[in-house]
Structure 1
Amino acid sequence: MGIPTVVGRFSMDINWILDITGDTGAAALVGLTVGVIFGVSSQRSRFCLRAATVEFARGQLGPRMAVWLLCFSTAVFWTQTFALSGLVPLEQARWLSSPGSLSGAILGGLIFGAGMVLARGCSGRLLVLAAGGNLRALLSGLVFAVTAQMSLYGVLAPARSALAGLWVTGPANIELTSFLGLGPYAGVAIGAVLALIALAASWRAGIAWPVLVFGSGVGFSVGAGWLLTATVSSQAFDPVSVESLTFSGPSADTLMFFMTASDTVDFDVGLIPGVFLGAALAALLAREWKLEGFEGAKSMRRYLSGAAMMGFGAMLAGGCAIGAGVTGGSTFAVSAWLALTAMWVGAVLTDYLVDQPKTRARGPAAA
């Protein structure tokens, strides 16, 4: 039984869900489901782009790099497989259907990457940590969400719009495999090759198989998001966007949803609670849930300034480390790959300029 047959049966089975929840309610339920998968997988695998970039900046190819590469390759493989099978119309996704801001990707990515190192975690990682009782991550996540909202509609919106408009593709974004003439199977092949490299790096780093399973689960949640929203969109009467994981827009939308008691629900509003629920359950079952606070005023300033930088940078880049770096990257949108590269550059430079001097000053024994 092939993938299209399985999903075809699933498409017929969701009609009763649409009848009960409505179109937007079904989208919110999909967001909740995808969020739970991501939350559990991320908490158990310790998935974190910031940790991976720090390893890279210090000349290591360790477990965090391997887990990140495993997640990314899995997301690319499943997303491209579903698209090749005709199950996910990626051309309808925002990353490919809208013009891409190359200036926003570069500048926003650099700002986000620097903020990610200062906050000691990307926006998705902060949400997972907050679900495990980390109050530093909870407050930083709120600052991230508020700044993202300010960058989208508030006082920071004019600056974001001006920077994003400096260099734009049009009328739609550039899809890299088509632009390079690589053929329809290139995306799946690239995902498979990257997965083999990730497995080799994981073996070299001595990563246990449960971590490999959950690390690939993070990437699979991205593919599942594309597949499930595409399935709901094809069955729904009202417009439902074909989308997947990201944390900049959904964090801002979820914050406003609970602040204004809005009755409008969608994928974004279901996603954030789903991630929090999944990560909290995983932390509780593993007996890793514990309250943690700030270590002092200096630490607090660092975390919150980094969170604010991530909020603005994510909205300028078109997405966060997950939204642009993994979800957008899985579509091969040129602006997403530029944003991901800029995030790595910003994070590596910030670690080299801010954190590594402190480590060298403490000496080898402290390191």
Structure 2
Amino acid sequence: MLNFEMYEWVNILGLIIGLVFGAVAQAKQFCFSGSIKDYILTKSTKRGASVIMAMIVAIVASAVVSSLFELDFTTTQYYKSNINYVTIILGGSLFGAGMMLADGCSNRQLVKFAQGDSNSLITIVFVAIFAYATAKGFLYGLFSPLTNNSTLIEWSSFIQNSTMNIYVIVGILVLFLLYLIKDIKRIMTLGDGVIIGLLVALAWYVTGVLGEESMERIIPLTGITFVYPTAQSVELFMFYQVNELSFAISLVCGVLLGTFVMTFFNKKYSFGCTASQNLNRTKYNMLGGALMGTGGVLSIGCTVGQGLTGLSTLAVASGVAIASILLSGTITALILNKYNKLPMCFIFEWQDRPDYQI
């Protein structure tokens, strides 16, 4: 009964990784964009600390997996030849603005939708449409003079897309983490970051080690990412004969299912937060989704695809991408907050604070 082909086991494990990711993200509301919003609105650093912890664990755990099983991360999309840093920065900037306008990045929208926020479905659909259009459709041709510009590619070659020093990057992240947590005892509350970081390394193992044994299909060495896989999921839903179920699509389905199941145990976050504030979010969801779909493809990943998975390979391009996303997201959030359009859903703060509330 369990006599599956190896590529089927890869898909099953992708579904399981997604299940765990969705359950953890729902229980703790793990979110890149939310961590920025928390600090701007309440000076809370709890979710930001979880994000940094996930980065540290993803980098270290992926390095261990790479060393033990001889995985070559330079064969992944994060080290693609003819890198164009202008495109990377533009894509990251578009994605960062989009995730703030839509109130959540691509994986966050999957979690929000599965936990009961129907507005997020609008964003998911627009992410899928514009990601596909940028990768293979009308927008691909529109951006082609920029993405394939020989002058920009030549300029980009002066900064080689090499591997960053793991000790320097992890050291910087550890210092940043210590600044955010203030009290070393609080590290014990960042379990969500640890689990999600480990899932990144597990994804590398599944696609790189188990996937290598697949004789029926070629399994590319990939990690956890959500923008283009969301587009692929919609394509699979509409044209099943054309597209085949993959690790990335299984991952997206797992996040939705894991979040939905966790919502039954954790009622605290199982609703949208903007309806009661009299804000019409539809236009923001549409525009934000469009920007994230386009930007995520141009920057070769989203906050998770570049901020965790890409960064775990220590590619220079991933560092540039996530820096662009965070800078753009912060600027956009500050502008939205100025006009009182940055809604606060919940308060996330350290439980050892006397003024802690939720």
TM-score by length of 1: 0.82
1:72-104 deviation digits (Å, cap 9, x = unpaired): 111111112212334432232221254433111
Deviation at residue 160 of structure 1 after TM alignment: 3.1
Query: What SS is found at the alignment partner of 2:317?
Result: helix
1:230 is matched with 208
In the alignment, structure 1 residue 123 sits paired with structure 2 residue 123: no
1:271-326 deviation digits (Å, cap 9, x = unpaired): 11111111111221223464548636732111211111111111111111111221
Alpha-carbon distance between aligned partners in 1 of 2:184 and 2:36, rounded to the nearest angstrom: 16
Query: What SS is found at the alignment partner of 1:265?
Result: coil
Alpha-carbon distance between aligned partners in 1 of 2:259 and 2:115, rounded to the nearest angstrom: 7
Contact preservation (8 Å) 2:77, 2:300: no
Contact preservation (8 Å) 1:149, 1:252: yes
Deviation at residue 145 of structure 1 after TM alignment: 1.1
Give the letter for the 2:197 counterpart: G
Contact preservation (8 Å) 1:67, 1:202: no
1:281 is matched with 261
- Residue in structure 2 matching 1:259, options 238, 241, 256: 238
157-166 vs 291-300, which moves further = 291-300
1:241 is matched with 220
Contact preservation (8 Å) 1:321, 1:343: yes
In the alignment, structure 1 residue 108 sits paired with structure 2 residue 102: no
1:162 is matched with 145
Deviation at residue 221 of structure 1 after TM alignment: 1.1
59-68 vs 137-146, which moves further = 59-68
91-100 vs 278-287, which moves further = 91-100
1:175 is matched with 162
Contact preservation (8 Å) 2:79, 2:317: no
In the alignment, structure 1 residue 143 sits paired with structure 2 residue 126: yes
Alpha-carbon distance between aligned partners in 1 of 2:338 and 2:40, rounded to the nearest angstrom: 9
With over 3 angstroms needed to count, the CA separation of the structure-2 counterparts of 1:162 and 1:204, relative to structure 1, is: farther
Q: How does 1:5-154 map to 2 (within 5 A)?
A: 20-55=3-38, 60=43, 62-154=45-137
Alpha-carbon distance between aligned partners in 2 of 1:44 and 1:173, rounded to the nearest angstrom: 40
1:346 is matched with 328
Contact preservation (8 Å) 1:104, 1:165: no
240-249 vs 74-83, which moves further = 74-83
Alpha-carbon distance between aligned partners in 1 of 2:177 and 2:187, rounded to the nearest angstrom: 13
Instruction: List gaps (5 residues or longer) in structure 2.
Output: 343-358
Deviation at residue 255 of structure 1 after TM alignment: 0.6
In the alignment, structure 1 residue 220 sits paired with structure 2 residue 198: yes
With over 3 angstroms needed to count, the CA separation of the structure-2 counterparts of 1:101 and 1:37, relative to structure 1, is: farther
Alpha-carbon distance between aligned partners in 1 of 2:179 and 2:339, rounded to the nearest angstrom: 32
Give the paired residue count: 334
Contact preservation (8 Å) 1:35, 1:272: yes
With over 3 angstroms needed to count, the CA separation of the structure-2 counterparts of 1:119 and 1:359, relative to structure 1, is: closer
1:363 is matched with none
Contact preservation (8 Å) 2:114, 2:257: yes
Contact preservation (8 Å) 1:160, 1:315: no
Alpha-carbon distance between aligned partners in 2 of 1:318 and 1:89, rounded to the nearest angstrom: 18
Query: What SS is found at the alignment partner of 1:65?
Result: helix
- Residue in structure 1 matching 2:181, options 202, 209, 212: 202
Alpha-carbon distance between aligned partners in 1 of 2:30 and 2:144, rounded to the nearest angstrom: 31
Alpha-carbon distance between aligned partners in 1 of 2:87 and 2:193, rounded to the nearest angstrom: 29
Query: What SS is found at the alignment partner of 1:121?
Result: coil
Aligned residues with identical type, % of pairs: 23
Contact preservation (8 Å) 2:7, 2:211: no
Alpha-carbon distance between aligned partners in 1 of 2:167 and 2:12, rounded to the nearest angstrom: 28
Deviation at residue 208 of structure 1 after TM alignment: 8.3
Query: What SS is found at the alignment partner of 2:137?
Result: coil
Contact preservation (8 Å) 2:228, 2:293: no
Give the letter for the 1:95 counterpart: Y
Query: What SS is found at the alignment partner of 1:110?
Result: helix
- Root-mean-square deviation over aligned CA pairs: 2.9
In the alignment, structure 1 residue 355 sits paired with structure 2 residue 331: no
Contact preservation (8 Å) 2:69, 2:209: no
Give the letter for the 1:174 counterpart: N
Give the letter for the 2:226 counterpart: F
Give the letter for the 1:271 counterpart: L
TM-score by length of 2: 0.83
1:306 is matched with 288
